[in-house]
Amino acid sequence: MAAPQIGEETKVTLDLKTIGMIVTFVITITGMYFALQSDIARAMELPEPEISKVEYELKDELIRNTIMDTQEDVEEIKETIKKIDQRLYEMTR
């Protein structure tokens, strides 16, 4: 049995329900596209948010505190490693 081939003599039948679904799909996609384009255009016109001086200072302070905490943690880890290294040396002697 040979596979059907599509050519000039191929008949395609569509009922009204299928045609309606295709038209509705195309209209929906077109509407979504234009809505998205208008949202993008509106967003491009909006002013950029300004960062106040107080907000900048608070964020800067938070970052500096985080760095200091991290530095303290690193120092504690270094001391722990030195103790472990010394104990290991004593055990291997």
pLDDT of residue 13: 82
pLDDT of residue 7: 81
pLDDT of residue 1: 64
Domain boundaries, the chain: 14-46, 48-93
Rounded to two decimals, the pTM is 0.42
pLDDT of residue 2: 67
For residue 86, how many C-alpha atoms fall within 13 Å in the half-sphere facing its CB? 6
| Token duo for residue 44 | 């491009």
Q: Which residues of the chain have pLDDT under 70?
A: 1-2
Secondary-structure percent of the chain, ordered helix, strand, coil, rounded to 5: 75, 0, 25
